[in-house]
Amino acid sequence: MAFTNLHTSIEYLKGVGSARADLLRKELGIRTLSDLLHFFPNRYLDRTQFFKVNGLLQNSAEVQVVGKIVNIKTVQQKRGSRLVATFIDDTGTMELVWFRGVKWIKESLKLNTAYVAFGKVNHFNGTFSMPHPELELVTEYKKSLQTAMQPVYPSTELLSKKGVTNRIVSKMIQNLFLELGNRFQENLPVAIIDKLHLISKGEALFNIHFPKSPQLLTKAQQRLKFEELFFIQLQLIRKNMIHKTQIKGYVFDTIGDYFNTFYNNYLPFELTNAQKRVVKEFRKDMSTGAQMNRLLQGDVGSGKTIVALLTILIALDNGFQAALIAPTEILANQHFIAITELLSEMDIHVKILTGSTKTKERRIIHAALEDGSLDILIGTHALFEDKVQFKKLGIAVIDEQHRFGVAQRAKMWMKSPSPQETSEPNEEKAATNNQTKVTAPIPPHILVMTATPIPRTLAMSVYGDLDISIIDELPPGRKQIITAHRYDSNRLSVFKFMKEEIAKGRQVYVVYPLIQESKKLDFKDLMDGYESISREFPQPKYQISIVHGQMKSADKDYEMNRFINHETQIMVATTVIEVGVNIPNASAMVIESAERFGLSQLHQLRGRVGRGAEQSFCILMTSFKLTSDAKTRLETMVATNDGFEIAEVDLKLRGPGDLMGTQQSGVLNLKIADLVKDGAILKRAREMAFELLKNDPNFLDPNNLQLKRTYQEITKNKAIWANIS
C-alpha cells in the first residue's frame, strides 16, 4: 500500500495493526504516519563493531554479537519464570535471558539460525549473559536500512512488556520510509533554506532516523530544530501583529496634570534610564489606537511599581480609571499603602478590594467604580468577580502575572461597557478578507509585570506574542546584598551576627521552607526554630514576630504590622513573605534549609532585604548533605545578585516546563529543539519569522504557498483569544 496522506492512521502501516496502534497512541501519542515520522530518537548507538564471545569485557557496555541459538529452556523462579537461550559463535558460549514476554519470545525464536544479538552484557560465575537482547535475523539485518548509528527511541515500561522494542519501532519507521520513498513536501521557503544552508526536509527526516554519518545527523538535527522553532515564532509574531491591527485600544494622547504634577513634584527619586525607556514604550503603545499588551520584567527592587503608577496616571489624564491586581492580600496591601502614600498630596481616589473587604465597603467601592468617582482600584482575585464593573477602565496592571490563569486575566477585558466594531478574532479569518463584523467592548490596555526574570529564550517562546519591556538597572544608592552559605554547625556564629545587626537598630528575617506535601513537618520545623530563636533571643530584650500560612489573615496582619512598626526585631516566617513585604530597616535574612528552595524562590526571598540604604545580608543555612543541583543553586546565589543570570541557571537546572509551570509551558512541548542548548537557533528562527511576516504577512507570495499550508495545519482551530496576555 503506497501512502499519499501522512494523516493516515498508524494501524495501516506494515508491522503495526490495531492492537499496536492503540498501544502507540496511549503510550506515546502516536496516532498517524506523520506522528511516527516525527517521533525522533533521543540518542544513537554505534553499531559498526561486532564482538566475538571470547572478546567480551566485564564493563556493562552495549555490544553486538553474531551467532546461533542452540538451546532454549524455561527456568521457574519465585515469581513466574525466565527464558534462557544458549547462544554460540565460533569462539565461545553466552546466555540470552528474558524475564518478560517469555511465552511470546519462546515461540518466535529459531534454533540454529544466524542472529545479530545486541544489548548490555553481564558477567556471573564465568559466563556472560545478555538480558532482553535485541535480536534480528542476519538475513533481515542485511536487508534493512544500514546505518552506522543505531537510533534509540523513547519508550515506556508497558511498551517493553508488550514486546514493542526499540528494534520494532525502528522497523516500523523503516517500513514507512520504504512506502513513502523520498516524497516529502518541503515546508520552508527556498530563500530561507539557501540563506541558512539547510538540508532538505526529506534528507533531514531520513538522517534523523537512519544517519549516514555523524555530520549528516548534525545537519538533520539543525534543520528540524530550526523548523520547529520557526513555526512557533511564526505563530507568536503573527498573533502579535493581528492583535495590533485588529484589537482596538483607547487612544491615550494626553499627558496632563496628573502625570506632570506627580512627575515634577512628588516623584520620590530620579528615574533610572531603564525606567524612562520603559515609560516611553508604554506611552507609545497607548497612543496608537491598538490595545497595549505588554510584559514588564524587572528584577527585585528595580522600581516596577513606580513605572506602573506613571502609566496609570496617563490613563487618568485621559479620563479613564485603572486597576492593579496582585496575587495575594499581602502584596495588594503593600501596593495600596505605597501608592496611597505616593499620591497623598494629589486629589486622586484610590481604594483596595480583597477577599477580606467587608460587604458594606464593597458596596461603596462598586458604586464609586460605576459612577466613575473611583480612579484607581487595587486588589486581588476579587477584582475578577462579575459584580466589579468600571465606568471606564483604561488600563489593567497585573502583578506577578504567572500566578493568574488566562481565563482570569481575560475577564478584565469585559469590565467596561464601551463597544467597538471589530473583526472576528480568528487567525484564519484575519489572513483573508472574509471578516465578520461583531460588536465587542474596547478592552483596557494590559500591562503584566513579573519580578521573576525570564530567560531570553523562554521569553521569546512563551511570551513571544507579547511586547516585552525590561528594567535592567537598579535605582542609584542600592547596595548589592552580600550572600553567604553557612552550614548548621555555624549556627552560633550566625546568631552572633544577628545580635550585632539588631544592636545597630536593624531587623532580621528568619525563613523556613514550606513544601505543600509536608505542611505538618514544615509547621514543626517552624515552631522548633521559633523556640530555639526565642531561647537565644529572650524577652524583654528581644521581641519576635511569627507568620505562617496556617494563621488567620487578621493574626498575620497583626504580626506583620508589629514588624513593620519596629515593635519586633526578628520575623520568623514561612515563604508567605516571598513577595510584597517592603521593610527598608530589615537588613538581614537567614534562610533555613536553603537547599529545599528553588533558585528563583531564593532570589525572591533575598529581595525582601536590601531595600534601604544600609548594607544588607542573606545567609543560606544548610546541612552538609547536598545534591549537586543544590550546590549549584547555592553557589549561584552567593556569586550573583543578577536575577537574569540566576534565571538562566534555573532554566538549565529545571528545564522550561518546570520553570513556567504547567499552565504556561504548553507551547514548549518541543519534539527536538531544546531551549537551553538551542538559543542561537531560536534567535535565528525568530529573526527569519519577523523578516518573512514583514514582507508577506498573509502568505500571499507563491514561494510561501507550502509554508502557508503547514502554518494553517498547525494553527487549525486555534483562535487568537487562546493566549490573552
Q: Rg of the chain's alpha carbons, rounded to an integer?
A: 32
Q: Quick check: is 157 in a domain?
A: yes
Greatest mean pLDDT range, 134-148, 172-186, 241-255, 495-509: 495-509
With CA atoms as reference, report the closest residue to 208 among 135, 134, 153. Answer: 153
**Residue indicated by cell numbers 510584559:** 295
Q: Using the 3D structure, point to which of 127, 146, 165 is the last residue of a domain.
A: 146
Q: Quick check: is 558 in a domain?
A: yes
pLDDT digits (tens, 9 = 90+) for 176-219: 988 887 778 888 999 999 999 999 999 999 999 988 888 888 89
pLDDT class of 527 with cuts at 50, 70, 90: confident
**Residue indicated by cell numbers 551576627:** 497
Q: Quick check: is 190 in a domain?
A: no
Share of the chain above pLDDT 90, in %: 35
Q: Would the pLDDT of 578 be above 80?
A: no
Q: Using the 3D structure, point to which of 618, 640, 662 is the last residue of a domain.
A: 640
With CA atoms as reference, report the closest residue to 235 among 1, 427, 486. Answer: 427
SS3 420: strand
Q: Quick check: is 681 in a domain?
A: no
DSSP letter at 353 equals E
pLDDT, position 667:
46
SS3 312: helix
SS3 228: helix
pLDDT class of 565 with cuts at 50, 70, 90: confident
Same domain, 137 and 155: no
pLDDT, position 689:
93
Q: Quick check: is 440 in a domain?
A: yes
Q: Would the pLDDT of 679 be above 90?
A: no
Q: Would the pLDDT of 723 be above 80?
A: no
β-pairing verdict for 149-152 and 43-46: antiparallel
Q: Would the pLDDT of 520 be above 90?
A: no
Same domain, 412 and 354: yes
pLDDT, position 484:
94
Same domain, 31 and 176: yes
β-pairing verdict for 437-441 and 419-423: antiparallel
**Residue indicated by cell numbers 506602573:** 308
Q: What is the mean pLDDT of the chain?
A: 83
Q: Quick check: is 315 in a domain?
A: yes
- Judged by average pLDDT, the poorest of 30-39, 43-52, 81-90, 512-521 is 512-521
pLDDT, position 397:
93
SS3 115: strand
Q: Residue 304: which CATH number?
A: 3.40.50.300
Q: Residue 66: which CATH number?
A: 2.40.50.140
The C-alpha cell at 612 is: 534601604
Asked whether 326 and 400 are in contact (CB, 8 A), the reply is yes
Who wins on pLDDT, 53 or 675?
53
Asked whether 312 and 306 are in contact (CB, 8 A), the reply is no
pLDDT, position 521:
54
pLDDT, position 671:
83
Who wins on pLDDT, 315 or 102?
315
Q: Would the pLDDT of 486 be above 50?
A: yes
pLDDT digits (tens, 9 = 90+) for 4-20: 578 888 988 888 888 88
Q: Would the pLDDT of 283 be above 90?
A: yes
SS3 471: strand
pLDDT digits (tens, 9 = 90+) for 430-480: 444 444 444 556 889 999 888 777 777 777 766 666 788 888 887 776 788
Amino acid 508 reads V
Burial tier of 16 (Cβ tally within 10 Å: 0-12, 13-18, 19+): buried
Q: Would the pLDDT of 725 be above 90?
A: no
- Judged by average pLDDT, the poorest of 44-58, 247-261, 643-657, 695-709 is 643-657
pLDDT class of 721 with cuts at 50, 70, 90: very low
Q: Using the 3D structure, point to which of 405, 437, 471 is the last residue of a domain.
A: 471
Same domain, 416 and 526: no
Per-residue pLDDT, averaged over 101-126, amounts to 87
Q: Does an H or E element contain 643, and which?
A: helix 643-660
Same domain, 344 and 420: yes
Q: Would the pLDDT of 688 be above 50?
A: yes
Beta strands in 107-203 (DSSP E): 114-120, 122-124, 127-131, 134-137, 149-152
Burial tier of 383 (Cβ tally within 10 Å: 0-12, 13-18, 19+): buried
Q: Residue 42: which CATH number?
A: 1.10.150
Cα–Cα distance for residue pair 369/393, rounded to 1 Å = 9
- Judged by average pLDDT, the poorest of 231-240, 255-264, 334-343, 710-719 is 710-719
SS3 100: coil
Q: Would the pLDDT of 579 be above 60?
A: no
Same domain, 399 and 506: no
Beta strands in 26-139 (DSSP E): 43-46, 62-76, 81-88, 93-98, 114-120, 122-124, 127-131, 134-137
Q: Quick check: is 397 in a domain?
A: yes
The C-alpha cell at 390 is: 468600571
Q: Would the pLDDT of 244 be above 90?
A: no
Same domain, 385 and 411: yes
Amino acid 441 reads P
The C-alpha cell at 70 is: 542452540
pLDDT, position 663:
40
Give the total residue count for the chain.
725
Residue 9: give the domain boundaries.
Answer: 1-47+151-183
* Tally of structural domains, the chain: 4
Asked whether 276 and 463 are in contact (CB, 8 A), the reply is no
Cα–Cα distance for residue pair 684/196, rounded to 1 Å = 9
- Judged by average pLDDT, the poorest of 54-68, 229-243, 426-440 is 426-440
420 Cβ neighbours under 8 A, 6+ residues apart: 248, 439, 440, 441, 442
Per-residue pLDDT, averaged over 372-389, amounts to 91
Q: Would the pLDDT of 719 be above 70?
A: no
Cα–Cα distance for residue pair 629/598, rounded to 1 Å = 10
Asked whether 120 and 143 are in contact (CB, 8 A), the reply is no
Amino acid 82 reads R
Same domain, 137 and 159: no
Per-residue pLDDT, averaged over 674-681, amounts to 81
pLDDT, position 664:
44
Same domain, 120 and 175: no
Beta strands in 178-328 (DSSP E): 293-298, 321-325
Task: Report the sign of the C-alpha dihedral through residues 530, 534, 539, 544, in that order.
Answer: negative
Q: Would the pLDDT of 130 be above 70?
A: yes
Asked whether 65 and 117 are in contact (CB, 8 A), the reply is yes
Cα–Cα distances (Å) from 717 to 427, 438, 440, 680, in that order, read 9, 19, 21, 31
Same domain, 427 and 531: no
Who wins on pLDDT, 251 or 142?
251
Q: Does an H or E element contain 439, and which?
A: strand 437-441
Neighbours of 687 (CB within 10 A): 12
Is the pTM above the cut of 0.75? no
Per-residue pLDDT, averaged over 676-680, amounts to 80
Same domain, 3 and 115: no
pLDDT, position 661:
46
Q: Would the pLDDT of 2 be above 70?
A: no
Q: Would the pLDDT of 509 be above 70?
A: yes
Asked whether 106 and 72 are in contact (CB, 8 A), the reply is yes
With CA atoms as reference, report the closest residue to 546 among 565, 580, 569. Answer: 569
Asked whether 545 and 558 are in contact (CB, 8 A), the reply is no
Q: Quick check: is 232 in a domain?
A: no
pLDDT, position 226:
95
Same domain, 338 and 452: yes
Burial tier of 202 (Cβ tally within 10 Å: 0-12, 13-18, 19+): middle
